[in-house]
Structure 1
Amino acid sequence: MTKLRLLFLVLLFCPPPAAAQNDHVRIAEENAPAVVAVNVVKKDGSTFTGTGFVVTPDGLIATSRHVSADALYINITFNNGAVSGEAVGVAAAGNVDLSLLKISARNLPYVTLGDSDTVLPGQTITVIGNPRRLQNTISSGLISQVRKKADGVIWHQISAPISPSSSGSPVFDEHGRVISVAFASYKGEGNQNLNFAVPSNYLSELAQAAGYALPSPEEEPRTAGADGNPFISHIKKSWEILKRLVKDL
């Protein structure tokens, strides 16, 4: 039993590696419920589906501006299949491809925005989107480069695959915070994973200008309950490992 006690203490108090704490699986589990499909009927009668994500529990949703542009009607589909009532456009950025929609709701799961000014080329990212309407598809990649356009606007070049219907997908850093919003890719023969995203600080500015207060990064995890806490998750994993070891004795 002395060896078992020692093993339990090691599992309990030695933190798991950072990669294990901040992996794509955890980020997806915590944030997928807040990622939505944005279903649009355009004024010309055509239909369009993009991606969005909830940024406040009372139904403020971020997406790409071109997703909601010229919309006659918009609603939202959540990853559990629930469909909202009509979504109303409340703000659109003039210089970047971002817009905000609002639905009538309460206590929704939501994401937390990170500080995109700290983003560096080479850092790992996780993207949750709806490519070809395949809802809640998880992809990974890197920040390939931080690019400044001639007009001063910053873009994030990303290597994570981006397909049609993925416009508006949140791009998460290793801590599970949204650092940019995917909106475009270079198509054509010979082009591979040349995709672009709008930094999240532009989204923060858009929400503030529209009069919306976004939750701060210091608040508790929003979507997965206690399992979103890395320490709690580590305790659970440690307990499962210990039970298997005891069973094998």
Structure 2
Amino acid sequence: MRVFLTPFLLLAFLTLPLAAQNNHVLIAEQNAPAVVAINVVKNDGSTFTGTGFVLTPDGLIATSRHVAENALYMNITFNNGAVSGEAVSVAAAGNVDLALLKINARNLPYVTLGNSDTVLPGQNITVIGNPRRLQNTISSGLISQVRKKSDGVIWHQISAPISPSSSGSPVFNAQGEVISVAFASYKGEGNQNLNFAVPSNYLTELATAAGYVLPGAKAGAAPSEEATNPFIAHLQKSWQILKRLFQKI
């Protein structure tokens, strides 16, 4: 047993930088097809583009509330260039910047929601969005802080770069689960990467209140052993990397 474990553990430590880099690559590969551009014509005739992500195979989509507000018409563009029929707003949260849209579809790729109650400052994150309409742009950063507003609402402050048209972008943890939804930035001279996101548990609550069942949502779930033990998590990720390398030989 010792003969087997020693080289495996050595490889695990040697692949620490590769594992950190590979996380973002895997998250992008697995989730980019579920991230969409939301094309909006507002009631005043102006146009607007935001970001959203698919929650269910039959076309339930999450975005920021301000993306869908005062919309005369909306449709969805997927990362393969396909454009949906009309998207209809089916729910909006009153106290946070979240909304749900629905299109008629089947067998769509979709994301998995994580439990945002377990999010801690310093966590690595990956964001997939459409900044300046550059669809499926990948950025990374940290949870800079978990902030509680005076009204009790929680915000995630994030350091990942966010630009216009990225409202509604999913923020992923290291396990590839959506833990929040980007919606705002502090702009102005001297401000750098002061961005904010709505925790995913608010989204789970909104979907439940609207009568939707989300596959794989983890709101309120206890942290997994992998989430609480970084060494075990790293070993599992290293093994996944090895399997991917073997498959390419």
TM-score over 0.5 (shorter chain): yes
Larger Rg over CA atoms = 1
Structure-1 residue corresponding to 2:88: 88
Structure-1 residue corresponding to 2:72: 72
Aligned-residue offset at 1:181? 0.1
Aligned-residue offset at 1:239? 4.7
Distance across 2 between alignment mates of 1:19 and 1:203 = 32
Aligned residue for 2:83, secondary structure, equals coil
CA displacement, residues 24-64 of structure 1 (integer Å, 9 cap, x when unaligned): 00000000000000000000000000000000010000000
CA displacement, residues 80-107 of structure 1 (integer Å, 9 cap, x when unaligned): 0000000000000000000000000000
Question: Aligned pair in 2 of structure 1 residues 18, 103: CA closer, same or farther (>3 Å)?
Answer: farther
Amino acid in structure 2 at the alignment position of 1:236? R
Distance across 1 between alignment mates of 2:94 and 2:108 = 28
> How many equivalent residue pairs?
225
Amino acid in structure 2 at the alignment position of 1:43? N
CA displacement, residues 115-154 of structure 1 (integer Å, 9 cap, x when unaligned): 0000000000000000000000000000000000000000
Distance across 2 between alignment mates of 1:200 and 1:217 = 9
Aligned-residue offset at 1:238? 2.7
Distance across 1 between alignment mates of 2:180 and 2:18 = 21
User: Which runs of structure 2 are paired with 1:31-70 in the superposition (5 Å)?
Assistant: 31-70=31-70
The counterpart of 2:243, out of the listed 235, 239, 245, is 235
Structure-2 residue corresponding to 1:20: 19
**Aligned residues with identical type, % of pairs:** 77
Distance across 1 between alignment mates of 2:30 and 2:138 = 12
Distance across 2 between alignment mates of 1:177 and 1:233 = 19
Distance across 2 between alignment mates of 1:166 and 1:56 = 21
Aligned residue for 1:85, secondary structure, equals strand
Distance across 2 between alignment mates of 1:158 and 1:39 = 25
Aligned residue for 1:84, secondary structure, equals strand
Distance across 2 between alignment mates of 1:156 and 1:145 = 6
Amino acid in structure 2 at the alignment position of 1:70? N
Question: Aligned pair in 2 of structure 1 residues 207, 132: CA closer, same or farther (>3 Å)?
Answer: same
- For structure 1, the 5+ residue unaligned runs are 1-5, 219-228, 244-249
Q: Residues 19 and 241 of structure 2 are in contact (CA less than 8 Å); yes or no, is this contact kept in structure 1?
A: no
Distance across 1 between alignment mates of 2:247 and 2:34 = 29
Aligned residue for 2:151, secondary structure, equals coil
Aligned-residue offset at 1:236? 3.3
Distance across 1 between alignment mates of 2:18 and 2:173 = 12
User: Which runs of structure 2 are paired with 1:166-177 in the superposition (5 Å)?
Assistant: 166-177=166-177
Aligned residue for 2:85, secondary structure, equals coil
Amino acid in structure 1 at the alignment position of 2:157? Q
